[in-house]
Amino acid sequence: MDSPTFVRFQLGAQLRRLRDEAKVPTERAADVIEVSASTLRRIESGRVGIKGPALTALLNEYGVTDAELRETLLSMAREGKRRGWWAKFGDLPQAYRQYIGLESAADQMQNFETIVVPGLLQTEAYARAMTNSDAFKPTPSSIEQRVLVRMERQKLISQGRLKLIAVMDEAVLHRQIGGPRVMNDQLTALLDAAELWNVTLQVIPFREGAYASMLSSFAILSFPDHAGVVYIEGLTGDLYAEGADVERCTIVFNDLRSSALSPSESAAIIRNIRDAEQ
C-alpha cells in the first residue's frame, strides 16, 4: 500500500501540473486558499498535505471539471492525512520524514554512495557513530531515536519489500567510522547483505580513477505503476527530481555499475579489506 507521504507527493505533483496547465501564477493560487506562496510550494512538493475545501478551491481556480479526477484528488488528500509508522518518532526533521515515506512506498532503490555505507545497510553501531558526528550535536535521546528509525527502515530489506542495488566508492570501505571494531562488523554486515536475493552490492575500486558522478551521492526510488524519483541530500536542503532527471540519473547509475567491480569481485575486495584490518 502507498505510504501517506508518497500519496501527498503524487498529489502535489498533480496540483503543480494542473496549475501550470491553467497558467495560474503561484501567488494567485496561494491567495485563493489564503496561504503564503511558500506554503503552496510545500503543498506542491508533497511536504505538507491539503484539506478538502482548499483543494476544491484550487481545482475550481484551475478549471478542473472532470468529476472523476476531482474525486481521485480529494481521495488522495484524505489518504495523505494518514500517519505512517515513522510518526511515532516525534522530532524527526520534516525532510527526513518525507524521504522515509517515499522510501517506504518504493519497490526498488538504486543508491550510489561516495563516502558512507548506504543507510539501509548500516549496522546499529555504524549508524550511531554517524549520527553522533552531526555538527549540530544531537542529544543522546535524539541519537538513539534516529538509530532506531534507521533500524526500522532496514526492515524493507530484511522483509524483502525493497530491492536494493547499491554502488559504493572503495573509500567507503576504508573510512574508519566508529573505529576499527565498528568498521570490521560493518564490513561483515555488507558481506552478509550481499548474500540476500534482493541486494546487489558493487564497489568502484580506487584504480578506476575518475568516473561519472564521483562527487555526488544519490538515490533513485522506483515505485509500482508510478514514475521514479531521484533524491539528492544536501547540506542546505534535499532535492527531489522527476521526469527527464530520473532518466539522466539512471544513465549515470548504469555507467557507475559498469565502472564498478562485479558483485562477486566486490565481495572479495570487502573481505580483503576487512581481513587486512584484523
pLDDT score of 176? 95
Based on the number of CB atoms within 10 Å of its own CB, is 273 exposed (0-12), middle (13-18) or buried (19 or more)? middle
Are residues 229 and 125 part of one domain?
yes
CA 248/CA 243 separation, integer angstroms: 9
User: Could you tell me the pLDDT band of residue 2, with boundaries at 50, 70 and 90?
Assistant: low
Q: What is the pLDDT of residue 1?
A: 43
Count the neighbouring beta carbons within 10 Å of the beta carbon of residue 107. Answer: 15
Domain-embedded: residue 84: no
Cα end-to-end span (Å), the chain? 44
Name the average pLDDT for the chain.
Answer: 91
User: Residues 174-198: pLDDT tens digits?
Assistant: 999 999 999 999 999 999 999 999 9
The last residue of one of the domains, among 79, 108, 127, is 79
The predicted pLDDT at position 97 comes to 84
User: Residue 57 falls within a domain, yes or no?
Assistant: yes
Q: Which domain holds residue 139?
A: 89-277
- Whether residues 105 and 61 share a domain: the answer is no
Give yes or no for residue 220 having a pLDDT over 80: yes
Regarding whether 226 and 112 lie in a shared domain, the answer is yes
When pLDDT is averaged across residues 18-34 and rounded to a whole number, the result is: 95
**Percent of the chain's residues with pLDDT above 70:** 97
Do residues 129 and 182 touch, judged by C-beta distance below 8 A? yes
Per-residue pLDDT at 216: 87
Give one DSSP letter per residue of 114-157, joined into a string: SSS--GGG--HHHHHHHHHT-TT---HHHHHHHHHHHHHHTHHH
Residues 62 and 97 both lie in one domain: no
Q: Which of 63, 144, 142, 46 is nearest to 101 (CA)?
A: 46
Pair 46, 98 in one domain: no
Section 129-153 average pLDDT: 87
> What's the pLDDT score for residue 256?
96
Residues 235 and 136 in one domain: yes
Interatomic CA distance for residues 66 and 77, integer angstroms: 17
- Domain stop point among 32, 53, 79: 79
Residue 202 sits in a domain of what CATH number?
Answer: 3.30.870
Q: Quick check: helix, strand or coil at residue 243?
A: coil
Q: What is the strand order of the sheet 226-232 is part of? A: 199-204, 163-169, 108-113, 218-223, 226-232, 239-241
Q: What is the pLDDT of residue 236?
A: 66
Q: Which long-range contacts (CB under 8 A, 24 or more apart) does 25-31 make?
A: 28/61, 29/58, 29/61, 29/62
On the question of pLDDT at 145 being above 80, the answer is yes
48 and 161 in a single domain? The answer is no
Domains identified in the chain, total number: 2
Residues 219 and 141 in one domain: yes
Same domain, 102 and 159: yes
Q: Do residues 30 and 37 lie in contact, with contact meaning Cβ atoms separated by under 8 Å?
A: yes
